[in-house]
Each structure stands twice: as structure tokens, then as C-alpha cells.
């Protein structure tokens, strides 16, 4: 099971808390997913508003570790201030760092991400950067103090799965000792299983579960897929080959021609 900044987590599935049809469905999805970590955010609260308190009561009842994000931030300053507010609100120094660089694809801004990671690490944060699979970027993030890397599988909310298998495999090989989490882009449990088979430590998803017709059932399906993929990775899969090779013994076959 993954270890993030010295903390043991009991599940390889990390789940977002947005877009569920109701708080009850969210709670049931978390229960059936077995997820150990929930991502959360901070947003404006109008005077007299109860939304924040109501949501806080709900997630507090889930009994999971919280990972606040800086979703929607497009500048270093915005991300740093949001992280500081999130640390006080949620009482954790963990932060899922998002610095968005491209409006259509929500691709992370690699330059802003490294700068924000360096600043936040200096302020005592444990940074979980939402990044691409770029090896040089990931190297810089580790140098900036990140002890976890969270490359996208595909753009947020697309459900396209793992778009760059070669890049993700290279990343795993290049950082054998850094916990790696596929964050964003997963749509199906089979894609989560694939991430585990590649040797990733965990997956983080939201839309695939929350927007499913039956979110709780889909959460359980993802949990099963993640468990299967991790078991398969540990079982040392056979290497693929181009030519056929019979699995049934040739020796002893009856001669019937």
C-alpha cells in the first residue's frame, strides 16, 4: 500500500468529492470504494452561508484522510494563497497542487508548478503536484521537494484513460522510489487496473465515479480493478511477444492427419 510523506494509506484508490448527485450518494460511494483519501477544495462562502459547515460535517463523517486542492488556480500566487487558506481550514499540510496553464485541456503549467511547489515546500507543506508525465518536469518537482508525483492519465474529466503509456512507463522506471499516482482522465475501472499493472502506487479519480449512473457501484468496481491491477503487478506479468506460442504441449499430440 502507498506511503505518502511517511503516512501509510490503506487503499490505492483516492476519490474526489465533487459532482455527486447527493451527499448520501457521496457517502455510499466512499464506503463501497474503500478509498483512504478524499480530495476537497475551498470556495467563496456568502455571509450566513451554511454550505461550508454542512460539507465539513459530511466529510468529517467519512473517516478518510483529506487532501485539499488548489483547483482552478492559474497563477503561482493564487495557488500559494489558496494552499495557505486550505491548510488552515482543513488542518492539514497536505496540498494537491494544481497550477493550470491551458484553458481547454487544463494542462498543468509546468513552470508555475515547480515555482509554487518550491514555495509551498519551504512553508512546510507536503505537496502532491498534479503534473504531466514529462520526465524533466518531474525531476524538477522532486528537486523542489515533492515526495509524491501525480501525473495525469488524460485531461481532467475526459475519461480517456492512459494517453501516453510509454511516458508513464518511463516515469515509473525513472522514479522507482517516488510514490506515483495517476491523477485525472480515468473513465473506466479497466484503465485504473492498467495504471496499477504499470506499477503506479495509486489512482485519483472523481468524475468517473460521481457521473456514473450508479456512483456507489462504480466506486466498488474501481476498488476491485485497482486491487486486481496491483496484485497483477506484484505477480510479475509475462512480457508480450509478437509471435504465437502454443500453450498446450505439442509433445504427445495424437497423429490424426
| Dist. CA 199–CA 172, nearest whole Å | 7
Site string for other proteins, 142-161 (x = CB under 8 A): --------------x-----
What is the distance in angstroms between the CA of the first residue and the CA of the last residue of the chain? 54
Residue 206 annotated in ligand binding: yes
**Does 46 help bind other proteins (rule: CB under 8 A)?**
yes
Nearest CB to other proteins, comparing residues 4 and 90:
90
- What is the Cα–Cα distance from 164 to 145, expressed in whole angstroms? 25
Question: Among residues 57 and 143, whose Cβ is nearest to other proteins?
Answer: 57
Tell me if 68 sits within 8 A of 92, measured CB to CB: yes
Q: Does 94 bind other proteins (CB under 8 A)?
A: no
Return the active site residues. Answer: 96
Sequence-distant (6+) residues with CB within 8 A of 48 are none
Stretch of residues binding other proteins (CB under 8 A), selected from 19-27, 131-139, 220-228, 247-255:
19-27
| Separation of alpha carbons 247 and 86, rounded Å | 56
Whether residue 252 is annotated as binding a ligand: the answer is no
Give the pairing type, strands 181-183 and 150-151.
Answer: unpaired
Does residue 62 interact with other proteins by CB under 8 A? no
16 binds other proteins (CB under 8 A): yes
For other proteins, which residue of 3, 21, 49, 122 counts as binding (CB under 8 A)? Answer: 49
User: How far apart (Å, rounded) are the C-alpha atoms in residues 3 and 37?
Assistant: 12
Residue window 190-229: x/- pattern of binding to other proteins, with contact defined by CB under 8 A? ----------------xx----------------------
Query: Could you say which DSSP state residue 205 is in?
Result: E
CA 209 to chain CA mean position, Å:
13
184 is in an annotated binding site: yes
- Does 18 bind other proteins (CB under 8 A)? Our answer is yes
Does 116 sit near other proteins (CB under 8 A)? Answer: no
Please report whether residue 111 would count as binding other proteins according to CB under 8 A: no
Helix (H) or strand (E) run with residue 220 in it: helix 215-234
- H or E element that contains 3: strand 3-4
Long-range contacts of 232-236 (CB under 8 A, 24+ apart): 232/193, 232/196, 232/197, 233/196, 233/197, 233/198, 233/199
In the complex, the residues that contact other proteins under the rule CB under 8 A are: 16-20, 26, 39-49, 51-53, 55-56, 59, 68-69, 71, 77-78, 81, 84-86, 88-90, 156, 184, 206-207
Binding-site sequence positions for 1-deoxy-D-xylulose 5-phosphate: 157, 184-185, 206-207
Amino acid at each position: 500500500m502507498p506511503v505518502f510523506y511517511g503516512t501509510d494509506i490503506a487503499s490505492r484508490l483516492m476519490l474526489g468529492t465533487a459532482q455527486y448527485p447527493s451527499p448520501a450518494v457521496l457517502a455510499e460511494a466512499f464506503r463501497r470504494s474503500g478509498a483512504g483519501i478524499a480530495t476537497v477544495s475551498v470556495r467563496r462562502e456568502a455571509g450566513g452561508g451554511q454550505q461550508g459547515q454542512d460539507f465539513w460535517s459530511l466529510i468529517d463523517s467519512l473517516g478518510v484522510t483529506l487532501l485539499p486542492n488548489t483547483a482552478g488556480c492559474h497563477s503561482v500566487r493564487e495557488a500559494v494563497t489558496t494552499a495557505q487558506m486550505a491548510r488552515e481550514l482543513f488542518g492539514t499540510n497536505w496540498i494537491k497542487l494544481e497550477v493550470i496553464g491551458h484553458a481547454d485541456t487544463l494542462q498543468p503549467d509546468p513552470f508555475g508548478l515547480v515555482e509554487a511547489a518550491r514555495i509551498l515546500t519551504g512553508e512546510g507543506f507536503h505537496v502532491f503536484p498534479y503534473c504531466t508525465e514529462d520526465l524533466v518536469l518531474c525531476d524538477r518537482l522532486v528537486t523542489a521537494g515533492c515526495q509524491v508525483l501525480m501525473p495525469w492519465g488524460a485531461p481532467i474529466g475526459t475519461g480517456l484513460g492512459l494517453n501516453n503509456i510509454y511516458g508513464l512507463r518511463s516515469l515509473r522506471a525513472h522514479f522507482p522510489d517516488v510514490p506515483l499516482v495517476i491523477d485525472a482522465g480515468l473513465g473506466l475501472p479497466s484503465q485504473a487496473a492498467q495504471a496499477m499493472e504499470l506499477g503506479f502506487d495509486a489512482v485519483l479519480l472523481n468524475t468517473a465515479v460521481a457521473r456514473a449512473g450508479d456512483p456507489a457501484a462504480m466506486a466498488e468496481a474501481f476498488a476491485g480493478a485497482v486491487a486486481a491491477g496491483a496484485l497483477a503487478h506484484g505477480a510479475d506479468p509475462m512480457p508480450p511477444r509478437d509471435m504465437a506460442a502454443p500453450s498446450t504441449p505439442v509433445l504427445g499430440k495424437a497423429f490424426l492427419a
